[in-house]
Amino acid sequence: MLSQGFVSAAAIAASVLFVLSLGGLSNQEKAKRAVWYGIVGMAVAVFFTAFGPGIGAYWLMIPMVIVGAVAGAYVAKKVEMTEMPQLVAALHSFVGLAAVFVAWSADLERRRVLAARALDAGAEQFSAFAALVATKAPDELMFLQIEVVLGVFIGAVTFTGSVIAFGKLAGKVDGKPRQLPGGHLLNAGAAALSLLLAILYLNGAGFWTLLLIAALAFFIGYHLIMGIGGADMPVVVSMLNSYSGWAAAAIGFTLSNDLLIVTGALVGSSGAILSYIMCKAMNRNFVNVILGGFGGSQGPAAEIEGEQVAIDAGGVASALNDADSVIIVPGYGMAVAQAQNAVSELVRKLRSAGKEVRFGIHPVAGRLPGHMNVLLAEARVPYDIVLEMDEINDDFASTDVVIVIGSNDIVNPAAQEDPNSPIAGMPVLKVWEAKQVFVCKRGQGTGYSGIENPLFFKENTRMFYGDARSSIDSLLSQID
């Protein structure tokens, strides 16, 4: 068993590695090395925690670690990049549920310590955690109770919220916002009742209060995320990531685990900052998003005139052959069709023909921040031609051809033209300003968020229907 000095030193080293990992992920070229920082940091954290002072029951721990490692490796190999958003949401739910269970266990141990004190039982009667609790003064036990309440509430909200987010991202739950009658009043009532139960618990009420707090928080997590539409799901995933971090930090305080506190705080703060950045990029109010659109715009959306005009692969190829400048705007449709390699080959052929080809990436393209960047990097698209919205938005007016691959909301002019649109005010890629726009799309549906797009009806837009991968493949043989 390792000494506390070794464990403390390892915690510092792992924390530094986690900070380096987060910092490196801001740059595509450094991201691979940053991921390894995180892997090594987590390995160090797990090893030194498992073999630190006061840890036992290895006969149970080691098999559980092996089972978890095998399950993780299996899922990592099976899950495609297109399914990564829902996988992240599912993993958030695990963190939340773990926080609830640990908090419940901590309170049961606290009650055991108090009962043992009343019977003058010796310290040998305690588990490692209970022995730690036994050293706490009454005022310190009050702080422990507060940590337990926070762990149960935040963890339960994170669990059910993440489960619903997983369902929406996976298409198993309707992506449209739905709430029970009473809407936000139900959420507010559940939160107020949770606070009342927490006060009762802190004043000596039984374990039943924690069970009821968890049940109410489970409902709040479910109802909040059900009330959020598909257009805001990238923000929701980031927000739930933040929640899982704060739940872990609360449990870190409960367990007196410095590394868990630091790790949870890093995840919680970075997730909150990312959520804020994404809301700013979408011109959304952060509070409105997390409350399911409370106070959002209301009213009927503007009617769209005209019709969608289709075009075949020959027509698109002809326009590309005549063009000097091309911008490609990828969205989740590219991910679903796994068309990134075909797109990369198209880019290679166009650039070989002397054409300027670039990508326009919206901050919330796909269903997870950075989703499109990862796919393009995987397909070996050069980093220097992958530009963010602010870098490329002014160039559409001087661009010959724009190819939109499976995007809807991020290229929707209604965001700027229709104040009653669900995405009103959201900054979008102004693809309609280009000379010609080709939209690669499976059919005439409104897409995941259910929002109609006037772009598809504009005179300079042609709809290139079909699976994105097959459609792009059909262009390759016709590019000069």
Catalytic (active-site) positions: 409
Neighbouring residues of 71: CB distance < 8 A, sequence distance ≥ 6:
none
Which token pair is 448?
């995941």
Cα separation, 291 vs 279, in Å, equals 13
Q: What are phi and psi of 462, to 5 degrees?
A: -125, 140
Residue 184 belongs to what H/E stretch?
helix 184-202
Residue 220 near residue 263, CB atoms below 8 Å: no
- Going by C-alpha positions, the residue among 194, 247, 198, 195 that lies closest to residue 216 is 194
Q: What are phi and psi of 388, to 5 degrees?
A: -75, 165
Residue-wise DSSP of 333-376 = HHHHHT-HHHHHHHHHHHHHTT-EEEEEE-TT-TTSTTHHHHHH
Q: How far apart are the first and last CA of the chain?
A: 68
Parallel, antiparallel, or unpaired for β 401-405 and 386-388?
A: unpaired
Residue-wise DSSP of 127-172 = -HHHHHHHT--HHHHHHHHHHHHHHHHHHHHHHHHHHHHHHHHTTS
Residue 260 near residue 248, CB atoms below 8 Å: yes
- Going by C-alpha positions, the residue among 79, 2, 110 that lies closest to residue 46 is 2
